[in-house]
Amino acid sequence: MDGLSFLDVEPSLLKTEERIIVAAIKIFAEYPLHVVTVRMIAKEARVCFSSITYHFRTKENLYQEVIRRFLNHGVQTLLCHGESASQPLTPEAACHELRTMVIRMTDWIYGSSHATTVAKIIFREHVSPSPLSETLYDEFFGKVITQLTTIVSSLINVPENVDKEREAALLAFSIFGQIGTFRLDREMLVRHLGFTGFSASEIAELQNLLLRNIFRQLGVPALSKP
């Protein structure tokens, strides 16, 4: 199995290599790379030490495989529609692409069964980058921001003395941050607003709020309603 589909399968039904990856994802979500040992992963996967060295040789190779799975899943989920949008879009097409992308991103980081685990590893890479952080940017985050920038650039008007592409890129980062903040604030949402974190209705509520705020931020009042 590729991607992350095997995370929803009973571990005893998986091949040894996939059981190791499942265990590694769990361990890497809890501990940074420099703390993790092969023995920790072997214990979690209930395999012998040599099984991990046979399939992956080192923990760094195993971590690289985990990141590769995340990247493939993220790209397939977020960029499979509108990926070719490298040229300016009409305002109507840009609004459609932006709405689709926001919904896809929120579904991915709030609603998927493995969202919490993925988020822990990804956010750690932002705070304490590993040698793979550049790969994460080149293969995933950079592509997401570039696509968002193209969409935003098709929607905004700026004064003549403002660099439109730079302004669009900053707004794209702002949008990305707004979406990520609810993932970071999950526990506070549970405590303060009684979220179950995150049900389908709660995700829809956050999506509606984000879409209203983002379109308002971009100055598209006619499309500020969800």
- Do 97 and 174 lie in one domain? The reply is yes
* CATH for 46: 1.10.10.60
pLDDT band at 5 (very low <50, low <70, confident <90, very high): low
Return mean pLDDT, the chain.
85
73 located within any domain: no
Whole-number pLDDT of residue 199? 92
Number of domains making up the chain: 2
Q: What is the pLDDT of residue 82?
A: 46
Residue with tokens 């039904």: 13
Poorest-pLDDT segment among 10-19, 39-48, 79-88: 79-88
For residue 226, pLDDT over 60 is answered with: no
What is the b/e burial string over 80-95, where b = at least 16 CB atoms within 10 angstroms of the residue's CB?
eebeebeeebeeeebb
The residue with greater pLDDT, 167 or 3, is 167
Q: In this structure, are residues 106 and 210 in contact, taking their beta carbons and an 8 Å threshold?
A: yes
- Which domain covers residue 38, as residue numbers? 5-60
- Shared-domain flag, residues 55 and 87: no
End-to-end CA, the chain: 36
Average pLDDT over residues 153-178: 94
Do residue 156 and residue 191 come from a single domain? yes
- 145 and 106, same structural domain? yes
Instruction: Give the per-residue pLDDT at 161.
Output: 94
- With respect to residue 198, please indicate whether it lies within any of the assigned structural domains: yes
**175 and 218 co-located in one domain:** yes
Report if residue 70 sits inside a domain. no
Q: Return d(Cα 26, Cα 147) in angstroms, integer.
A: 31
pLDDT in tens, 56-109: 999 999 999 888 888 777 777 777 444 445 567 888 899 999 999 999 889 888
Specify the pLDDT at position 60: 92
Is residue 181 situated within a structural domain? yes
pLDDT reading at 153 higher than 80: yes
Task: Please indicate, yes or no, if residue 133 is contained in any of the structural domains.
Answer: yes
CATH of the domain at 100: 1.10.357.10
CB atoms within 10 A of CB 204: 15
Of 17, 201, 182, 6, the C-alpha closest to 110 is 182
Interhelix angle 16-30/115-127, rounded to 10 degrees, is 60
From residue 15, how far is each of 38, 39, 49, 65, 148 by CA, in Å?
18, 19, 16, 16, 38
Listed in sequence order, the DSSP H helices in the chain are: 16-30, 38-45, 49-56, 59-78, 91-106, 115-127, 133-136, 142-153, 164-184, 186-193, 200-217
Q: Do 54 and 156 sit in the same domain of this protein?
A: no
In this structure, are 213 and 121 located in the same domain? yes
Residue 65 lies in a domain: no
Whole-model pTM: value is 0.80
Q: What is the DSSP secondary-structure string of 127-161?
A: HS--TTHHHHIIIIIHHHHHHHHHHHHTT----TT
